[in-house]
Structure formats: C-alpha cells, structure tokens
Amino acid sequence: MWEEVIKKNEYLTREMLKNSLTPLPEYKRVFEDFVIDDNGMIWVAVNTKSTKNYTWMIFDQKNKLITKFKFPKSVILKIVKKNYAYGIYTDDMGFQSIVKYKINK
C-alpha cells in the first residue's frame, strides 16, 4: 500500500516514511464502509489489493450473500433507496460531488 504512495510522490522515500512521527498501519483494514438499503439489505465495502476499487458485497436480512461487485474507491455510497444509489464522488484534485446511480436488478 505504501509503495503506491511513494510512487505518486517523487520527493517521498521509504526512509522518510519510516522516520516520520506518523505511525504507519501494519495492516489495511478490511471493511471500509457499509449502507443498509430500504429493503433491509446490507451493502459492505471491502478493501482489496486494488488501489482503485472496493469490492461491495450485498447481504440479505438472513446474512446470505446476494452479490458482489467492484466499484471505484473514488465513490463512497451513502444511501441506497428505490432502485438508486447515492454517493459522494471525489476526483483526483479532491473536489467532491454527489452522484446518483440507477440499480438494475
């Protein structure tokens, strides 16, 4: 994970990260976020090896996995209601906007 950070920042080195006062996490957390939709299903964003996508998993009310799909990390879903998912999109410059997706069942 830190290799990606170093690649993006020309001035940053592995030694600088080790010597910094900011502790670096040894592990990446598994769960990033979750949403409960209007049908009571739980949508869980899970970190993967990819630096660009989360894997979202949808569970029914009995905790049975319904489906899973990859979705960009640049969007965090906040509300899933009436066949639409709403989220916050953050672009490469850090600007944010609200996005709306139609859910095809």
Position 11 scores a pLDDT of 67
CA distance 54 to 45: 6
Strand ranges inside 24-74, DSSP E: 31-36, 42-46, 53-59, 65-72
pLDDT class for 100, splitting at 50, 70, 90? very high
Domain ranges for the chain, please list them.
Answer: 28-102
Q: Is the pLDDT of residue 22 over 90?
A: no
- What is the per-residue pLDDT across 46-85, written as a single tens digit (0 to 9) for each? 988 888 899 999 999 999 999 999 999 999 999 999 999 9
- What is the per-residue pLDDT across 23-42, written as a single tens digit (0 to 9) for each? 656 666 688 889 999 999 99
CA distance 5 to 83: 36
- The reply to whether the predicted model has a pTM over 0.85 is no
